[in-house]
A and B are shown apart, each in its own frame.
Chain A
Amino acid sequence: MNTFFFKAAFCAYLVSALGYVASLLVNRFRIAKMALWLMISAFLFHSLFLLYRLFETGQTPLLGFHEALTFFAWVMAGIFLALQFKTRTVVLGAFVSPVVCLLMIYASLGLRSAVTIPAVLQGGLVPLHVILSVTGEALFALASCAGAMYLLQDRFLKSKKAGRISRLLPSLGDLDRINHLCLLWGFPLLTMGVLTGSLWARLALGNSWLWDPKQVWTFTVWGTYAVLLHQRLAIGWKGHKTAVFSLLAFLLFLAAFLVERAFFTTFHRFL
């Protein structure tokens, strides 16, 4: 049952991603609409999978690395779908669904069994820390997807090639709104994630700042987004600049993540 839901969700995500790509290739909005419905069903299966895991193991299914990845994918898909109520951005799924698919593939490599959690990580603070941080990061990932699509549409409109594909892409206004909403929600969530993490570190280890590579990196990313949010809200950055900046910020986040995983040992690694 457990893997059935996961497989069903993955298949639906995959077909949905193919549908999105196809809709861009043959320039048909109807296919994108169908892909959206597939993504909704994938999300439901995915939710069932996570719930099943939760009840089966009796612990929040996100402390293992692969578990955290599916959770990341789930949050990303969920927020994208929720945004469909506020904006007309169906085709943005063409950027979101492949990312979700990749996360699911990677997650599937190590999902066989539930991880055992050492005593020091037990308690409510650690899952809370992970949920908040991962949700915040998923929102940033979505902001970067919207940013990438924004740059594409912006190029079409600036070069007056507003014909074929451009018709399918969401409007600049909607994409910018997604960027805005994701920053607005993602930043406080990540902030709270960092705070709960350091609170836990203080309680469990007696020190809230450990010079752990992941702490340093997260703090840098947090700082970058703080600057972006400030520019957006106070200075009035909008559109093109924020799209570029949020794309770069997320690439920085990814690069740091990969470098850290490859070259550093960190206290912070997933189980």
Chain B
Amino acid sequence: MGILLIGMSHKTSPLAVRERFSLSCENRDHPLDRIRQMPSIREALYLATCNRVEVLVSAAEEAEQAVEEGLKALMAERGGISGQELERCLYTLSGAEAVRHLFRVASSLDSLVMGEPQILGQVKEAYREAVEHGVTGILLNRILHHAFQVAKRVRTETGIADNAVSVGYAAVELAKKIFGRLDGKVILLVGAGEMSELAARHLLKQGIKSIFVANRTHARALEMAEQFEGKAVVLEQVPEVLKSVDIVISSTGASNYVLTRDMVAAALRRRKNRFLFLIDIAVPRDIEPTAGDIDNVYLYNIDHLQELVDENRNHRLREAEKAEAIIEEEVGNHTAWLSTLDVVPTIVEFREKIEGIMKAELEKSASWRHSLSEMDQRHVESLMASIVNKILHEPTACLREQSRNQNGKAYAAALRKLFKLER
């Protein structure tokens, strides 16, 4: 039996192709139903996320070519694209390569945003579906559970998931470093803009109590307030509102400062020096830079945030190297396990055969053993059993040992020949 993986990811295929395989279309049958019916396939896993489609199967080794063709045809059919086009997007991996790929995917090393945590959950979900469809067995169970362990190891032993890698999350992280907890805090959003709204949304997810929205045009402010379920204020009210907010995100198109140092200093006195986190995303800047010199005021502009993100990204890249080493090690472990699997049937048969001989001989001797006392009969039986065990022990241990250095198959074949094991 061998492992075969066919898939496409954000690295090999455009979104226009990947989206055709999404599982959300409920009217279609689950691909596992189809895959299960294909000949020679014993086990299967189907993973589809917005960034990848992967099919992992275990199949008889001699049928691998046919299985690959079959899976490709199935995918072409499901995606409604020509085989040629599909061929450009697909990669096919087998054996240890396939295992390594799955480990990297589960550990989020192959993700668009490296280290993002969702992928592991998606792999687990795909595995659950495979179990429900009854298409998992000894190989896939082991690979998947191993993949979950590897992902956990990578997460705890490397810093691959450390630190924010988007401006929005960087803002959240900084806010946490300043305030500790964010529940009960109040945001003020000044001006509109994609990045500032995104940052606000990230912050809102952290239990922010309420949000004020200020804009030059009141109508726009009202519109945004409705969108964020907050309160609208006009730009002139901002210095006043400053005394009751904790985080300000500013991104107006104004050509001069919306918030001056004096405004901030005055507000700070009135708010009894409670921390104030100012995020200035606007270019040109909205907040007078010297405002950041005031005690308990933390002012970050777009460059500061971007720098932080870049540094975090580099950190992740360095950590990824450690993760790759872990994966190499675990792929090795897995291969070792797989190769012991090759010799296991031989060991079982070997044992059965020798024990069979022993039993047959015992039966033959039944006639003369009658004359022995019951105690002596039992002695004879245990003597035989212990001789058999002693004889079996060395070859079995040797076979297991050899299977770890790839010689398993040759040794198993020799053993089969020597003892005339069937199959």
On A, residues with C-beta under 8 Å from B are: 27, 30, 87-88, 153, 157-158, 160, 162-164, 166-167, 169-174, 177, 236-241
**Shortest Cβ distance from A6 into chain B, in angstroms?**
35
Contacts of B296 in A (CB 8 A): 238-240
Q: Are A239 and B177 in contact (CB under 8 A)?
A: no
Contacts of B65 in A (CB 8 A): none
- Which residue in A27, A160, A177, A237 is a CB contact (below 8 Å) of B304? A160
On B, residues with C-beta under 8 Å from A are: 156, 159, 162-163, 173-174, 176-181, 272-275, 292, 295-296, 298, 300, 304, 307-308, 311-312, 315
Q: Are A172 and B180 in contact (CB under 8 A)?
A: yes
Contacts of B298 in A (CB 8 A): 157-158
A172–B307 alpha-carbon span in the complex (Å): 22
Contacts of A239 in B (CB 8 A): 273, 275, 295-296
Sample of 15 A–B contacts (CB below 8 Å): A153-B177, A157-B177, A160-B300, A160-B304, A163-B163, A171-B176, A171-B177, A173-B178, A173-B181, A174-B180, A177-B180, A238-B273, A239-B273, A240-B296, A241-B273
Q: Are A173 and B179 in contact (CB under 8 A)?
A: yes
Closest 3 CB pairs of A and B: A236-B272, A173-B180, A171-B180
**Shortest Cβ distance from A13 into chain B, in angstroms?**
27
**Shortest Cβ distance from A27 into chain B, in angstroms?**
8
- Which residue in A88, A162, A174 is a CB contact (below 8 Å) of B174? A162
Can you name 9 extra interface pairs (CB under 8 A) apart from A157-B174, A236-B273? Answer: A88-B180, A163-B163, A163-B308, A164-B315, A167-B162, A171-B176, A171-B177, A173-B178, A173-B179
A167–B170 alpha-carbon span in the complex (Å): 12
Q: Are A172 and B273 in contact (CB under 8 A)?
A: no
Q: Are B275 and A173 in contact (CB under 8 A)?
A: yes
A30–B157 alpha-carbon span in the complex (Å): 10
A167–B304 alpha-carbon span in the complex (Å): 16
A236–B179 alpha-carbon span in the complex (Å): 17
Contacts of A166 in B (CB 8 A): 177
Q: Which among A162, A163, A177 has the highest number of chain B CB atoms within 10 Å?
A: A162
When C-beta atoms are compared, the residue in chain A nearest to B303 turns out to be A160
Contacts of A167 in B (CB 8 A): 162-163, 173, 177
A227–B79 alpha-carbon span in the complex (Å): 75
Contacts of A240 in B (CB 8 A): 295-296
Q: Are A238 and B272 in contact (CB under 8 A)?
A: yes
**Shortest Cβ distance from B87 into chain A, in angstroms?**
44
A164–B311 alpha-carbon span in the complex (Å): 9
**Shortest Cβ distance from A171 into chain B, in angstroms?**
4
Q: Are A237 and B156 in contact (CB under 8 A)?
A: no
**Shortest Cβ distance from B181 into chain A, in angstroms?**
7
Q: Which among B179, B273, B300 has the highest number of chain A CB atoms within 10 Å?
A: B273
Q: Are B308 and A162 in contact (CB under 8 A)?
A: yes
**Shortest Cβ distance from B235 into chain A, in angstroms?**
27
Contacts of B177 in A (CB 8 A): 153, 157, 162, 166-167, 169, 171-172
When C-beta atoms are compared, the residue in chain A nearest to B179 turns out to be A173
Q: Are B180 and A157 in contact (CB under 8 A)?
A: no
A142–B295 alpha-carbon span in the complex (Å): 22
**Shortest Cβ distance from A191 into chain B, in angstroms?**
25
**Shortest Cβ distance from A78 into chain B, in angstroms?**
22
Q: Are B162 and A87 in contact (CB under 8 A)?
A: no
Contacts of B174 in A (CB 8 A): 157, 162
When C-beta atoms are compared, the residue in chain B nearest to A169 turns out to be B177
Q: Which among A166, A173, A177, A238 has the highest number of chain B CB atoms within 10 Å?
A: A173
Q: Are A157 and B295 in contact (CB under 8 A)?
A: no
Q: Are A238 and B274 in contact (CB under 8 A)?
A: yes
Contacts of B159 in A (CB 8 A): 27
Contacts of A30 in B (CB 8 A): 156
A19–B298 alpha-carbon span in the complex (Å): 31
When C-beta atoms are compared, the residue in chain B nearest to A244 turns out to be B295
Contacts of B273 in A (CB 8 A): 236-239, 241
Q: Are B307 and A157 in contact (CB under 8 A)?
A: no
Contacts of B176 in A (CB 8 A): 171
**Shortest Cβ distance from B184 into chain A, in angstroms?**
11
Q: Are A160 and B307 in contact (CB under 8 A)?
A: yes
A166–B275 alpha-carbon span in the complex (Å): 17
Q: Are A163 and B179 in contact (CB under 8 A)?
A: no
**Shortest Cβ distance from B19 into chain A, in angstroms?**
37
Contacts of A241 in B (CB 8 A): 273, 295
A153–B177 alpha-carbon span in the complex (Å): 9
**Shortest Cβ distance from A157 into chain B, in angstroms?**
5
A27–B162 alpha-carbon span in the complex (Å): 11
A30–B273 alpha-carbon span in the complex (Å): 34
A163–B156 alpha-carbon span in the complex (Å): 19
Q: Are A172 and B162 in contact (CB under 8 A)?
A: no
A152–B295 alpha-carbon span in the complex (Å): 14
Contacts of B156 in A (CB 8 A): 30
Contacts of B179 in A (CB 8 A): 171-173
Q: Are A172 and B178 in contact (CB under 8 A)?
A: yes
Q: Are B275 and A172 in contact (CB under 8 A)?
A: yes
**Shortest Cβ distance from B118 into chain A, in angstroms?**
22
Contacts of A157 in B (CB 8 A): 174, 177-178, 298
Contacts of A237 in B (CB 8 A): 273
Contacts of B272 in A (CB 8 A): 236, 238
